[in-house]
Amino acid sequence: MKDLRRYLVLKYIQYLVLSSSNAVSTFLGLLGSLYTIILLQSAKVSSKSTTVLISSIAKADILVSVCVVSDMIIWTFDVRILSTAFTSALLQNLLTANAHVSCLLLSCIAFEAYLITFFPMESRHVRTVKNAKLTSRIVWILVTAECVIFQTEDFLKASSISAHISSHCTSVFDLSGRVAALLRSLSYFLGIFLRIVNVYFYYKIFFTGTKAHILEHY
């Protein structure tokens, strides 16, 4: 569990503290996710709601691995087929999906820690493996839908540049662009909101919760 806590700290720094990922944080994140996936296969790690969420965060880094491998292939072998505008947009959308999945699941873990600290008995029926799997599935569905919308916008944008499109296609392009712009705005404000909420949860846990525990002890 100590290793899993260190992994969570790494992920919080990578996605909720740093404004953007860099090469060092990405590399450490990939190593941490690989180690975590291996660690979670051990019989010593019990199946709990938190471990289910952590497992989903670690598996989300597969998207980052795909992007890293693709960039290495392009840089090493100069493969032009992978350097098209569509593929570049896809790789960027995969990175965005990874970040959004990780942020949402990390926030779920923070909320669970808050419930465990202040409402351990009352929240026991909520903090189940089944609910954790359902939460992970919902997060992945929502982020996948977002990624599809972004990729559709990029595809239509590339098509409009490379060829003349009909008025019907223009309407579809405008609608896709508006939806994508709305999603980007929502994602931006949601990211700020999640950072504030996570700070609040851990402030309550580490300060208020610790203080209450000390008072009860004495």
Instruction: Express each pLDDT in 130-151 by its tens digit.
Output: 999 999 999 999 999 999 988 8
> For 25-34, 148-157, 165-174, which range has the lowest pLDDT when averaged over its residues?
165-174
pLDDT at position 130, please? Answer: 94
Identity (one letter) of the amino acid at 162?
A: S
65 — pLDDT class (breaks 50, 70, 90) = very high
Tell me what the mean pLDDT of segment 159-178 comes to. 61
Measured CA angle at 198 (ends 196, 199), to 5 deg: 65
Tell me what the mean pLDDT of segment 194-211 comes to. 82
- Rounded Cα distance, 15 and 45, in Å: 25
pLDDT at position 168, please? Answer: 54
pLDDT in tens, 68-113: 888 887 777 666 555 566 778 888 899 999 999 999 999 999 999 9
pLDDT in tens, 23-57: 888 899 999 999 999 999 887 777 889 999 999 99
Share of the chain above pLDDT 70, in %: 83
User: Does position 213 have pLDDT exceeding 50, yes or no?
Assistant: no
Chain centroid, CA 179 distance in Å? 21
pLDDT at position 144, please? Answer: 94
The whole-model pTM stands at 0.85
DSSP 3-state percent helix, strand, coil across the chain (nearest 5): 85, 0, 15
Share of the chain above pLDDT 90, in %: 44
User: Does position 9 have pLDDT exceeding 50, yes or no?
Assistant: yes
Q: Say if residues 90 and 44 touch (Cβ distance below 8 Å).
A: no
CA distances from 6 to 28, 35, 43, 81 (A): 12, 11, 20, 39
- Rounded Cα distance, 121 and 108, in Å: 18
Question: pLDDT: is 125 or 168 the higher one?
Answer: 125
User: Does position 165 have pLDDT exceeding 70, yes or no?
Assistant: no
User: Does position 164 have pLDDT exceeding 80, yes or no?
Assistant: no
pLDDT at position 84, please? Answer: 66
CA distances from 72 to 4, 21, 98, 178 (A): 29, 18, 19, 34
Return the biggest CA–CA distance within the chain: 77
